[in-house]
Structure 1
Amino acid sequence: MNLLLLFPSDLSGNNIARISDHRLQHILSVHRANVGDSIRVGMVNGLIGSGSIEKLDEQSAEIHFKLDTPPPPKKPLRIILALPRPKMLKRILQTITTMGVEELYLINSYRVEKSFWQTPILSELGLLEQLTLGLEQARDTQLPKIELRKRFKPFVEDELPSLIEHSYPLVAHPGVATPIPHALNKPCTLAVGPEGGFIPYEIAKLEEIGFHCGHMGANILRVETAIPALIASLYSW
């Protein structure tokens, strides 16, 4: 945890936060902090700053903080991702948050198993847990926007055309002739299929509304590997 992420519910006074959950255990067991120590803190969807531990025991920590620094800017990137299996979803949620992705749409496709949609990770609390881990790692406070779409065709035909306006619509798809672009200087809407890729019908529907297909070379990557590689390629550091 490189940043103690605070929520409005943690506030117990003017610039005072009180925590008693897993963050407390991290402070005690990993940071091995003591009263008087300083830690980096940030308010969810707000500023970053520093905090001083004023009280600390096994039950709670009381932190006086000052926030004065804006969080890192988000990348102008929207990812349209066929819902992966739950274990992979956890890692991807943390990765896209750590790398500053602005929006993530989790969608259905032919190769997505119906049972994937039943995972508790997709609950409000389940998503927040993974996104929080990503923000803490990245020293960021801005939560990405997460949307769920369980029907492929209505989403692509009725909603996606307006979403891709003013952005570069790209499908990462192996086997095509054109490589993905590098170091984009514009917003991008990036579609990534499930393990095995989008089926031809789905690729055709995306191309109908203006998506371009691009590859990342001859090697076939797992989705959890492809996502950070794509982000790094599209928006070089």
Structure 2
Amino acid sequence: MNLILLTPAEIQRERLACVRDPRRLRHLREVHRAQVGDRLTLGVTGGGIGYGELVRLTDDEARFALGAFDTPPPPPLPVHLVLALPRPRMLARSLEHLTALGVKQVTLLHTQRVEKSYWQSPELAAKKIHEHLVLGLEQARDTMLPDVSLAKGFRPFVEECLPALLDGRRGLLAHPGMAQSCPRGLNEPTVLLVGPEGGFIPYEVERLLAAGCEGIHLGPRILRVETAVTALLARLF
């Protein structure tokens, strides 16, 4: 945890904040080994980054006297990531990694090779998704939560949602065997589409290319989804 991320509700008065969440309290004690008087980096969800002096730490709460929160969070990546829904365990890690890298718009998509049972996972509950996003923000010293949406039908997504996403954005379909190598150093608004383990099926590739996406690849190696997404984002932006 490189940032103690506060919610607006935890700021009791303008210059005082109180944290009672067991996870953050445990981290303060066991990892930071925080002591009263320590000055720690804090941020407010949806706001700026600053510091706070720890004025009280017990098993039940931590209190901070707040300084100025006048440092903006890191800039977001100019990308909307469309990711075929990974298996639940991989989803948790992927959300944390994506958030830490600066992705602010994510659509989780159903495709032919996505197991239908994945959509019943507790990891898709709004509370669980929020928890993983917060972990990513704390890692990267960021305060701006990503927006995560669910698209449970491939065809409705391509016909009803994708045209609007591609309006004013460059669409990139990452899939093994595409003709074009992944570009580097983009700064234009982009929609990046990444398939599941095993990739998109040929029909899905055809539909996405016909919708206006460019096919790109990362080379001959076949990577796990979480590795491929990280490599793609690092290379693109």
Same fold, judged at TM 0.5 (above): yes
8 Å contact 2:78–2:187 — kept in the other structure? no
Residue correspondence of structure 1 range 7-22 to structure 2 within 5 A: 7-21=7-21, 22=23
- Per-residue deviation, residues 191-213 of structure 1 (Å, max 9, x unmatched): 00000000011111111110110
Q: Which residue of 1 aligns with 2:141?
A: 139
TM value normalised by structure 2: 0.97
Match of 1:106 among 104, 108, 113: 108
Aligned-partner Cα distance in 2 for 1:10–1:150: 35
Structure 1 residue aligned with 2:231, among 219, 222, 229? 229
Asked if 1:190 is matched to 2:170, the reply is no
Q: Alpha-carbon deviation of 1:129? A: 0.5
Offset at residue 166 of structure 1 (A) = 1.1
**Corresponding residue number in structure 2 for 1:45:** 46
Aligned residue number for residue 65 of structure 2: 64
Separation in structure 2 between the aligned mates of residue 135 and residue 146 of structure 1, nearest angstrom: 14
CA distance in 2, matches of 1:59, 1:75: 37
> d(CA) in 2 for partners of 1:179 and 1:10?
47
Of residues 196, 199, 202, the one that matches 1:200 is 202
Q: Could you tell me which runs of 5 or more consecutive residues in structure 1 were left unpaired when the two chains were aligned.
A: none
* Cα root mean square deviation, aligned: 0.9
Unaligned runs of 5+ in 2: none
Paired AA for residue 56 in structure 1: L
1:155-185: CA deviations, max 9, x gaps? 1111110111111101001012211111112
2:218 alignment counterpart: 216
Supply the distance in 1 between the matched residues of 2:92 and 2:78 (Cα, whole angstroms): 22
Aligned residue for 1:184, secondary structure, equals: coil
SS in 1 for 2:188: coil
- How many residue pairs align between the two structures? 235
Q: Partners of 1:47 and 1:5 in 2: how far apart?
A: 10
Overall identity of the aligned pairs, in %: 49
Aligned residue number for residue 23 of structure 1: 24
Q: What is the letter of the counterpart of residue 27 of structure 1?
A: L
Q: Is the 8 A contact 2:181 2:218 kept in 1?
A: yes
Distance 2:61 2:220 in 1: 52
In structure 2, how many angstroms separate the alpha carbons of the residues matched to 1:222 and 1:10? 39
Comparing 8-17 and 163-172, the one that deviates more: 8-17
Distance in 2, matches of 1:59 and 1:185, equals: 45
Matches of 2:31 and 2:138, distance apart in 1: 14
Aligned partners of 2:64, 2:221: CA distance in 1, in Å? 49
Which segment drifts farther, 181-190 or 108-117? Answer: 181-190
Q: Is the 8 A contact 2:176 2:217 kept in 1?
A: yes
How big is the shift at 1:145?
Answer: 1.1
